[in-house]
């Protein structure tokens, strides 16, 4: 079975400062990795995903995540956050080439302050 650990439950950060959200996973097989975001009063939205190939993946709004197989991590970073990045962020994993059901971490709440 796969499991995901998000090491920080809450991350307060000032506007224009960098942020890193940590995610570690455990699995005995190859996995796909995802970050989902949930803005206040909205549903889950995919932020970015790693399937294969380049270990650094980027989103359209400035986030990036790096897959590190040896450390079984998929940390999310943004060099400069905006107030609008205030949201809950979930790391998720699915088994590659199988059922594709997602196993989620507990989430990290990012609060951006002016």
Partner 1 sequence: DTGVSQNPRHKITKRGQNVTFRCDPISEHNRLYWYRQTLGQGPEFLTYFQNEAQLEKSRLLSDRFSAERPKGSFSTLEIQRTEQGDSAMYLCASSLTGGEYEQYFGPGTRLTVT
Residues near partner 1 (CB under 8 A) are 4, 6, 9, 32, 36, 42-46, 49, 51, 90, 92, 94-107
- For the bound state, the minimum distance from the C-beta of residue 77 to partner 1, rounded and expressed in Å, comes to 20
Cα of 57 vs its chain's centroid, Å: 11
Nearer to partner 1, 14 or 39 (CB): 39
Query: With contact defined as beta carbons under 8 Å apart, do 66 and 58 qualify?
Result: no
Q: What is the dihedral of CA 11, 105, 37, 63, to 10 degrees?
A: 70
Q: How far apart are CA 27 and CA 63, in angstroms?
A: 25
Nearer to partner 1, 99 or 114 (CB): 99
- For the bound state, the minimum distance from the C-beta of residue 94 to partner 1, rounded and expressed in Å, comes to 6
Nearer to partner 1, 13 or 102 (CB): 102
């Amino acid at each position: 079975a796969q499991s995901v650990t998000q090491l920080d439950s809450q991350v307060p950060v000032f506007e224009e400062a960098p942020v890193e959200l940590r995610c570690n996973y455990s699995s005995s097989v190859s996995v796909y990795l995802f970050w989902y975001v949930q803005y206040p009063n909205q549903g889950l939205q995919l932020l970015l995903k790693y399937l294969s190939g380049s270990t650094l993946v980027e989103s359209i709004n400035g986030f990036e995540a790096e897959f590190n197989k040896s450390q079984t991590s998929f940390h999310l970073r943004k060099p400069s956050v905006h107030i609008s990045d205030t949201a809950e962020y979930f790391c998720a994993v699915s088994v590659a080439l199988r059922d594709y059901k997602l196993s989620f971490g507990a989430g990290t709440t990012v609060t951006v302050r002016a």
